[in-house]
Structure 1
């Protein structure tokens, strides 16, 4: 099962690191405790829509970009977890008498 909060945390961390920002910088910009942001990035806490918007603003990334990336990552994980159907081999059964 894919956990949305874990994927969201991974995407947020990636966005932060890609911008060369520390947790402290994002914390100050979003006015959210550093510990809480860390919990979100590790997938341990859920982020409300208001909190997510604050984090995006602090990192100068659009909410739609984050949601798009989360959606893409979730789709990849779902595909990886999907069962692979195996072909069923059917052989003709002969009913003629020898």
Structure 2
């Protein structure tokens, strides 16, 4: 299960970074503390609709645009849940070389789904850790560790 707050945080961070703006600049413009904005971007805090609107205004984006992007990513991630995945990534007991090979193999077998605008790849690194890579056409990708439902 992908957490909504993490996908929202990824979308906000991607927009801020694409504008080459700092957390301080956006937090000042949005009238939110730098630490709280950082927690929102990392998916550790749930932002209210009023706060999301303020952050979007500071980024020069429409709230509906950001939510549409989040919705697209969530829809693809939900579709990914039904696709079987490869072996978990290497354990800490493996050597550095073996771990690198296992991680590369797991990444190569990670299922990927795209709708033309958003591409999502999911790699299960263990029973409670999954790496979600969402790429929007024309933007850099962002890895996120997400908590899976057990």
TM over 0.5: yes
- Partner Cα distance (1:83, 1:27) in 2: 39
Who is 2:68 aligned against?
A: 68
- Equivalent pairs counted in the alignment come to 84
Who is 2:81 aligned against?
A: 81
- In structure 2, the gaps of 5 or more residues are 85-150
- Partner Cα distance (2:83, 2:58) in 1: 40
Who is 1:58 aligned against?
A: 58
How far apart are 1:19 and its partner, in Å? 1.2
- Partner Cα distance (1:56, 1:27) in 2: 11
Root-mean-square deviation (CA), in Å? 1.0
User: Pairwise mapping of residues 13-24 of structure 1 onto structure 2 (< 5 A)?
Assistant: 13-24=13-24
How far apart are 1:2 and its partner, in Å? 1.5
Does 1 or 2 have the higher relative contact order (CA < 8 Å, sep 6+)? 1
Structure 1 segments (4+ residues) deviating >2 Å: none
- In structure 1, the gaps of 5 or more residues are 85-98
- SS across alignment from 2:44: coil
How far apart are 1:53 and its partner, in Å? 0.4
The normalised TM-score by structure 1 is 0.82
> If each structure's strand is expressed as a fraction of its own residues, which one has the higher value?
2
Who is 2:7 aligned against?
A: 7
- Partner Cα distance (1:51, 1:76) in 2: 26
Indicate the structure (1 or 2) with the bigger Cα radius of gyration: 1
